[in-house]
Structure formats: structure tokens, C-alpha cells
A and B are shown apart, each in its own frame.
Chain A
Amino acid sequence: MGMSNISFEQSPPYFVTVKFFLTAPLFLILSGVVLIFSSDYFGLLAAIHSFTLGFLTFSVFGALWQMLPVLAGVYIKRSNLISYIVYGCLTIGVFAFMFGFLFNFIGLHVAMLFLGIAFLLFVTLTLYKILTVQFFTPTITGMGLALLGLLILFSGGVLRVLEYLGVHLGLNAQVLHVNFALFGFIFMLIVAITYQVLPMFYVAKEYNKTFQKWFLPTVFALVVLLQFVPFAILGLHVSMLIYAIYSIKVISSRKRKFLDTTIRFWLLGFYSLIICALLGLISWFVELPTSLFTLIFLFGFAGSIISTMLYKIVPFLSYFHLTSTGNFFVPSIKEMISEKPMFVHFVVYLLFLVSLLVGAFFENLHVGGVLLTLSGLICSYNLLKVLSIYNKFAKQEVQETI
């Protein structure tokens, strides 16, 4: 039996993780608003960091908190208190960061302090817990490496901020920061999670065991190598291509051939990654806008996959926490969130990506900003609707108990 390291009652309380998921799309809105009103270099940096530190990190922290007990059998004690410290520091850190880029560099000092607390607390705690796991699966190994990548990218970020403040240590901080952000953290973590969730969510074929075992360690080695050998980027572009094509094959092998919005988002993410990898390969021969690769990678690949994860996780968590109290008469998951509003979000997000692609060539991302804001608003509305249903039935249950 493979269950000997798992205690069943390990799910963190509802709001420990849900607050991260519900806050995430607010940073999508903020990112869009910044793109509308600010078109200079620092405006773009602020928008990108609202997306990465806000939308991505909030979603990822919530997901890890939720998934680690199930995937690894590890549970963070005092999760309520720790989650509020991490959540609070992350929120202040992101806003200070935005302020720093948009108005005054002093905000970056504050941001480093609070983001440092949030990252160090969450990552060291999670890594420590992961190291106690009895059986390492490729997903757990991948998560561990990705969290290590997060620490390295944060160190690179601190060095980069020091450079903005006039302190130069002679290291190429930007390269370190960007490479570990894109490949060492985001790409690694998404790959690790898809190994587990893609076959589970859609009754699809499992990823090949040998592929699972070697792919992520190879990617991590390439990211490290990239600091010394720029040519290693080719290996990463090829890795992205292999993973995206393989994942499309996995999702196409699903038993029931229905196409809902969550699958559309997955496919959008994988096709964006293919475009990204091809752009990376083409850029060896043709000069392309420098931000194009990063924008498509972040918003196209990572943004799509995080969106589909939010739509899978939040309604299920709400349903699970309601029914686990013995309250069976609650709305079904489809009643909490129906296909149509998710599809509207998907269409707006797709239009946003198209506008981003076009806008990057003309150096005008204002239209993209409008569509991203709209996309964030729709996503927030959809998730808040789930929360309102949860609150309504959770209160009902308490009243009945009283």
C-alpha cells in the first residue's frame, strides 16, 4: 500500500488557500491598468511583476499549500497563522514593488524586505517539509527544484534592485533573475504539476516514467549552465518544444473527448509555449522585439495554465469544504461556476494575447492592457461568485448546527 505516509485529515482550512486564489486575479487587473496608463520601460516592468509576483505567485503558493499534503503527505503546521504572514508580506511586497517602479525607487527597499520574508518563510518551510518525504516522485522533486529556483531568482532580483540603487557587484543579475524566473521556477513548477494533474483531471495517459524522471533535472541543469554558457538557451527552447508537444499528446489521449474551457486554457498554454520556443529559435537568425518571448511565455503559457488551475481548484475546494461538514445539500460544482462565464474569460484572454503579440511589434500595449484588465475582472467575478455561494451555504450549515 502506498498510503503509509499519509494521514487523511490534512487539508488546510478553506481560507488558508482560498485567499491566495481569490487575490491572484486582482493583480491581473492591476497589471492591465498599468499597461494602459504607463508605456515606458519601468511601466512594463511594473506590469510584468504585478503578473508574476501577484497573479502567478499567489496562485502557486495557494496551490502548493493545497497540493503538498495530497501529493507528498506533508502538512504545514499552524498553517492559518503562517499563511496570513506570507499573504500579508506578499501583498505589501508586491504593492511596494509596483510603487518602486512607477513612482519612487524607495519602494523597492520595502518590497525586498517584505517579499524576502514571504519567500524565505514559505520556501524554507516547504523545502524542509519536502526533504522529509519518504518517497520522492518526479513531481515532488520538480517542486523542490522549482522552489530552489525561486530562492535563486529572488537573490537575482535583490542584486538587480541593488543595481538600480547604484550598487554593482559585478554579477549579471538580470540574466540570473530572468532565467531562473522563467525556466528555473515557473516552467519547472508547471511541468512538475502537470505530470500529476493532467492525467488525473482528464483521465489521460500518464507521462512516460523515464521522461518524468529526467526531464526536470535536465532543465534545471540547463538553467544553471545558462549562467556560464549562453548557448544552453537552445537546449531550453528544445525542452519547451518537447514538453508542449508531449503535453498536447497527453491531453489528446483523454478518454472523453469533450472540450471545455479548462482544456482550452491548457491547450492555449501549450500552443503559446510552442510559439515561444519557435520565437526563441528564430531569434538566433532574425531580430525580434526583446520583450516578445517573455510576454508570450508569461501571459500565454503561464497565465493560461494558472487560469485553468484556478477554475479547477476553487470550485472543487468550496464544494469539498462544504460537503465535508456533512452538508450534502449544496450546489454542485457546475452550479458554482458554469461553462459560459469561463468561456467568456477565455475569449477575452485569447484576444488579449493576440493584441499582445501585435502590440509587441508596434511597441504599444495599451489595447492589451484594456483586455487584460477586462480578463482579470471576469476571472475575479467568476471566482468571487464561487466564494459567495460558499459563504451562503457555510453560514446556513452553522445556523442549522446552532
Chain B
Amino acid sequence: MQIVEIDTTGLSHPEPFVMAMETLKGLKSGQYIKMTHRREPLKLYEVCEKLQYAFFVEEIHKTLFNIYICNNAHKDDLRLILKEVCLKEPQDYSNAACNTCQVLDQD
């Protein structure tokens, strides 16, 4: 899979969200987004969940997050890639049907 990286750590609200949406707009099959952000973009998660994009979150520390987003069809491919590239085990926040809250509570 091909990576599309966006760094929004220095951008003020709402530019990170807008930048993510612009990148999603141009996302091609086989590509995934790696978004680096200083906080958890809750509104973006909401959109991803609504539009059924798969998304994983890697918390580097309290003010640095990597968010990985891809088309749901490529979710398993992305999961394999992340296992190799991520410093920490990324959390799978996507798939509303599995009830995100419960999954995280069990962790």
C-alpha cells in the first residue's frame, strides 16, 4: 500500500480537519493516510466511522498521535503494515459495529 502523509501538528483548528478531508477526497484505492496530530481528532473519527473508513490510532505520547486511515476494503492490509511500522500497538477505532467503547474498555 502507498502512504500519503500529512503533518498537522503545527496547524490551528480547524485546518487539521480540513486537511484530512481534502486528503480523503483524493485518496485512491491502495493508498492510506498517515496523519500526525497533536491531539485526538474526534470529529475526524466521527466522519471516518460514518463513511466507513477504517482507522487506527497510535498514541506516541499525550500530545502526539499518528492516525492511519484507509478504505475499509484495505483494512487488513493496513493492519499488517502497521504491525511492522508502528512503535506502539495501534488501536483499531474503526468498525462501529464492534462497539468501540466496549473494545477499548476491555483493553
A202 within 8 A of B: yes
The smallest beta-carbon distance between B95 and chain A, in angstroms, is 11
A200 nearest CB neighbor, chain B only: B13
The smallest beta-carbon distance between B38 and chain A, in angstroms, is 7
Q: Bin the interface of chain A by size.
A: 20 to 34
- B91 pairs with A1, CB closer than 8 A: yes
Q: Which of A16-24, A42-50, A218-226, A320-328 contacts B (4 or more CB under 8 A)?
A: A320-328
Hey, which chain B residues are within 8 Å of A7, CB to CB? 100-101
A243 within 8 A of B: no
Cα A11 to Cα B38 in complex, Å, equals 22
Q: Specify which of A70, A201, A324 is in contact with B51 (CB 8 Å cutoff).
A: A324
- B50 pairs with A324, CB closer than 8 A: yes
B25 within 8 A of A: yes
The smallest beta-carbon distance between A160 and chain B, in angstroms, is 40
A109 within 8 A of B: no
Given A4-B105, A328-B21, are A202 and B12 neighbors across the interface (CB < 8 Å)?
A: yes
A329 nearest CB neighbor, chain B only: B25
Interface of B is mostly: helix
- B59 pairs with A1, CB closer than 8 A: yes
B42 within 8 A of A: yes
CB-contacts of B16-71 with A (<8 A): 17-18, 21-22, 24-25, 38-40, 42-43, 45-47, 49-51, 59
- B51 pairs with A6, CB closer than 8 A: no
Q: Specify which of A3, A201, A312, A324 is in contact with B46 (CB 8 Å cutoff).
A: A324
- B10 pairs with A255, CB closer than 8 A: yes
- B107 pairs with A1, CB closer than 8 A: yes
- B101 pairs with A201, CB closer than 8 A: no
A172 within 8 A of B: no
- A11 pairs with B18, CB closer than 8 A: no
Cα A1 to Cα B61 in complex, Å, equals 10
The smallest beta-carbon distance between B13 and chain A, in angstroms, is 5
Q: Specify which of A8, A197, A326, A333 is in contact with B100 (CB 8 Å cutoff).
A: A8
Interface centre among B22, B47, B59 (most CB of A within 10 A): B47
- B14 pairs with A70, CB closer than 8 A: no
Cα A256 to Cα B12 in complex, Å, equals 8
Known: A320-B47, A328-B21. 4 other contacts (CB 8 A): A5-B101, A9-B46, A201-B12, A316-B17
Of the A-B pairs whose beta carbons lie under 8 Å apart in the complex, a sample of 15, sorted by A's number, is: A4-B101, A5-B101, A8-B100, A9-B50, A201-B13, A202-B12, A203-B11, A255-B12, A256-B12, A316-B14, A316-B17, A319-B14, A320-B43, A324-B47, A328-B24
